Structure 1
């Protein structure tokens, strides 16, 4: 369950950024999570909810945007959204070309795990 360590890192980064910007409250955080990270968005949100209790981040809306896998195929030249071999029996998803079913692809998107934006309130804005 790598959601816990990722959630912890994200909550710490969000709180640190808010502190550096003199925030008194965090109102929203938008995250980008690639499908190849194998992070479950519901579990990630649940872990973040627990970790942000009793902080200025506690009541913020968390938006998790899942990023599809985008590839470029080395064999047929396809460029676009890929599929994974979810039916396979292994621990890591493997991106394949939807045109020729080859696994020789360059992954262009889908591995991200980013904090895209944080909305905060500052004390001077409420005065």
Structure 2
């Protein structure tokens, strides 16, 4: 369950950024999570909820935007949203071309895990 370590890193980064900007409250955090990270957004949110108790992040709205896998196929040249092979024989999802089923693809997006924005309140 890598959601706990990722949630911990994100909460720490959000709190650190807020502290550096003299925040008294964090009102919103927007996260971008690529489908290939294999992070479950509900589990990530739950872990973040536990970790942010008793912090200035506790009442913030956490928005998790899932980023689809976008690829460019090395075989047929397809460029666009990929399908994934979540076969239990693999330890992780494998991006494949929806046109030719090739797995030799260049991943354009879908691996990211970012804190996109943070909204804070400061003292007047």
Q: Which TM-score applies when normalising by structure 1?
A: 0.96
Partner of 1:6: 6
- State how far apart, in whole Å, the 2-side matches of 1:51 and 1:93 are: 28
- How many angstroms does 1:90 deviate by? 1.8
String of CA shifts for 1:11-32, please: whole Å, max 9, x gaps. Answer: 0000000000000000000000
Give me the TM-score of the superposition, normalised by structure 2: 0.98
1: CA distance, partners of 2:61 / 2:89: 36
Q: How many angstroms does 1:89 deviate by?
A: 2.4
Alpha-carbon shift at residue 81 of structure 1 (Å): 0.2
Q: Secondary structure at the match of 1:76?
A: coil
**Unaligned 5+ runs, structure 1:** none
- Give, in whole Å, the separation in 2 of the partners of 1:122 and 1:88: 48
**Distance (whole Å) between structure 2 residues aligned to residue 108 and residue 90 of structure 1:** 21
In the TM superposition, residue 88 of structure 1 has moved relative to its aligned partner by 4.3
**8 A contact 2:87–2:93 mirrored in 1:** no
- The answer to whether the 8 Å contact 2:23/2:122 transfers is yes
User: Does the alignment pair 1:111 with 2:111?
Assistant: yes
Deviation at 1:87, TM superposition (A): 3.3
Q: Distance in 1 between matches of 2:88 and 2:74?
A: 22
Q: Which runs of 5+ in 2 are unaligned?
A: none
Measured against aligned partners, the alpha-carbon deviations of 1:83-107 in whole angstroms (never above 9, x if no partner) come to 1012342211100000000001000
The total of aligned residue pairs comes to 124
Q: Which residue of 2 aligns with 1:61?
A: 61
Q: Secondary structure at the match of 2:72?
A: strand
